[in-house]
């Protein structure tokens, strides 16, 4: 029996979080994790979650309604709630939680005051150059995820040929490095010891990574045996060429 009511995947773009979320949801016992609070906008929260607040509702009431809607969507039948939080979404999300629990002394207290005892998972990608290449290429092509059968799973724009841009890659490398730094500083400040999963580990052994999370939650790890990746890795020769070129130009090993 688990002692946890929820878990939060603390991550950044192109770290493998979509794969991990889908696998955990597929177990049937580890919630249905997703970025329920992705945009830094309460209007976007209500739109995404299907919340229709009354005109006279206070901001605190609207936030509360969004939280309830997210819990309804993100809980598995055993009551476990899963959330993915990208670092760029962090500040707005926790500022809104402060409206619901203004007396809490820390972010962790606020989160657990709303979602119950929580397991924190840090999913990160060690190779920031590869992560930056993946981000820039997805931005340019409009294609963020591909299904296992090769079909488009998440496309946000019309197809477009990717073009190398060293300055934008440098900006992404710096952003990704900062996201990891900020997560780790927050863990230290909140006295959190997260379960740490690396992108390469998840990519090489997705079922093993799911087992680690299930064990940490106190759930039966054998539930990982019935899941299989539904997302195909997108890196290709373009990714490798861009990464090699950037390392040469930037003097990065």
Task: Give the model's pLDDT for residue 161.
Answer: 87
Q: Side-chain half-sphere of 41: how many Cα atoms within 13 Å?
A: 5
- Calculate Rg over the CA atoms of the chain: 19
pLDDT at 9: 99
**Contact in structure between 24 and 7 (CB atoms under 8 Å):** no
pTM of the model: 0.93
Which stretches of the chain score pLDDT less than 70? 1, 145, 148, 150-154, 253
pLDDT at position 121 is: 99
pLDDT in tens, 186-239: 999 999 999 999 999 999 999 999 999 999 999 999 999 999 887 778 778 999
Strand partners, 86: 11
d(CA 100, CA 102): 6
- Residue 233's pLDDT is 80
Say which CATH topology domain 6-250 has.
Rossmann fold (3.40.50)
Across the beta sheet with 195-198, what order do the strands follow? 81-86, 6-11, 118-124, 195-198
| Run of H or E including 244 | helix 237-250
pLDDT at 232: 74
Rounded CA gap, 215 and 183, in Å?
23
- Residue 153's pLDDT is 61
pLDDT for residue 151? 67
Q: In the prediction, which pLDDT does 144 show?
A: 75
Q: pLDDT value at position 253?
A: 64
pLDDT at position 2: 75
Distance, CA of 161 to CA of 23 (rounded, Å): 30
């Amino acid at each position: 029996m688990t002692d946890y009511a929820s878990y939060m995947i603390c991550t950044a773009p192109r770290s493998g979080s979509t794969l991990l979320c889908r696998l955990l949801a597929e177990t049937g016992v580890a919630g249905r994790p997703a970025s329920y609070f992705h945009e830094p906008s309460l209007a976007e929260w209500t739109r995404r979650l299907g919340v229709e607040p009354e005109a006279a509702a206070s901001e605190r009431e609207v936030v509360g309604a969004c939280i309830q809607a997210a819990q309804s969507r993100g809980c598995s039948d055993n009551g476990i709630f899963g959330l993915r939080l990208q670092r760029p979404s962090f500040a707005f999300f926790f500022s809104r939680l402060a409206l619901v629990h203004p007396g809490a002394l820390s972010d962790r207290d606020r989160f657990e005051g709303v979602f119950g005892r929580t397991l924190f998972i840090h999913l990160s990608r060690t190779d920031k150059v590869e992560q930056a290449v993946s981000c820039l290429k997805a931005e340019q092509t409009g294609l963020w995820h591909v299904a296992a059968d090769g079909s488009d799973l998440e496309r946000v724009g019309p197809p477009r040929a990717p073009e190398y841009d060293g300055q934008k890659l440098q900006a992404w490398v710096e952003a990704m490095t900062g996201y990891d730094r900020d997560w780790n500083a927050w863990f230290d400040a909140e006295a959190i010891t997260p379960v740490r999963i690396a992108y390469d580990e998840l990519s090489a052994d997705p079922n093993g990574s799911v087992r680690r999370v299930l064990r940490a939650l106190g759930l039966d790890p054998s539930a990982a045996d019935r899941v299989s990746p539904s997302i195909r890795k997108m890196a290709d020769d373009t990714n490798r060429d861009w990464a090699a070129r950037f390392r040469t130009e930037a003097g990065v090993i």
